């Protein structure tokens, strides 16, 4: 069946560097989401994106975060600069709208 792919599965970077997390959503999906889960903690909503715009974001979506999906390619989450507390697993999801979102396997980000 259709899948949401997240690349890479694990990324390690030094604090203060920029990182871009990539998500390849299902091709005909219109809504895109990012979630953050710190190890052992709750899955937290970050942002959702539709028609080239941020529709909704949470307090966790700091100024250092940005999202885009240029020309229907990857849906990306950029963090610049990174901080130690950004270490977490980031999950991407996509949906058609009033249907269950499909989730990727997550990217584990380790900020050293």
Partner 1 sequence: GQQVQQSPASLVLQEGENAELQCNFSTSLNSMQWFYQRPGGSLVSLFYNPSGTKHSGRLTSTTVIKERRSSLHISSSQTTDSGTYLCALGGRNNNAPRFGAGTKLSVKP
**Lookup: tokens for 61:** 């979506």
Q: Does 42 bind partner 1 (CB under 8 A)?
A: yes
Of the candidates 28, 52, 70, 100, which one interacts with partner 1 according to CB under 8 A? 100
CA dihedral 41→47→48→51, nearest 10 degrees, is -160
| Dihedral of alpha carbons 50, 60, 15, 43, sign | negative
How many positions of this chain bind partner 1 (CB under 8 A)?
A: 25
Which is closer to partner 1, CB of 10 or CB of 17?
A: 10
Residues 6-35 that bind partner 1 (CB under 8 A): 31, 33, 35
- Who's near 99: CB < 8 A, 6+ residues apart? none
Q: Considering only 16-24, 67-75, 78-86, 97-105, which stretch makes contact with partner 1 by CB under 8 A? A: 97-105
Closest approach, Cβ 76 to partner 1, in A, equals: 17
Q: CA Rg, the chain, in Å?
A: 13
Residues 52-81 that bind partner 1 (CB under 8 A): 55-56
Of the candidates 34, 102, 103, the residue with the CA atom closest to the CA atom of residue 68: 34
Binding stretches for partner 1 (CB under 8 A): 31, 33, 35, 37, 42-45, 47-48, 50, 55-56, 89, 91, 97-103, 105-106, 108
């Amino acid at each position: 069946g259709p899948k949401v792919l997240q690349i890479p599965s694990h990324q390690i970077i030094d604090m203060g560097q920029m990182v871009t997390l990539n998500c390849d959503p299902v091709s005909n999906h219109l809504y895109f989401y990012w979630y953050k889960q710190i190890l052992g903690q709750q899955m937290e909503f970050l942002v959702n994106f539709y028609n080239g715009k941020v529709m909704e974001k949470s307090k966790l979506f700091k100024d250092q975060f940005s999202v885009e999906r240029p020309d229907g390619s990857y849906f990306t989450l950029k963090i610049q600069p990174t901080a130690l507390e950004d270490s977490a697993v980031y999950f991407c999801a996509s949906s058609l709208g009033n249907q269950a979102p499909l989730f990727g396997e997550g990217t584990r980000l380790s900020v050293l």
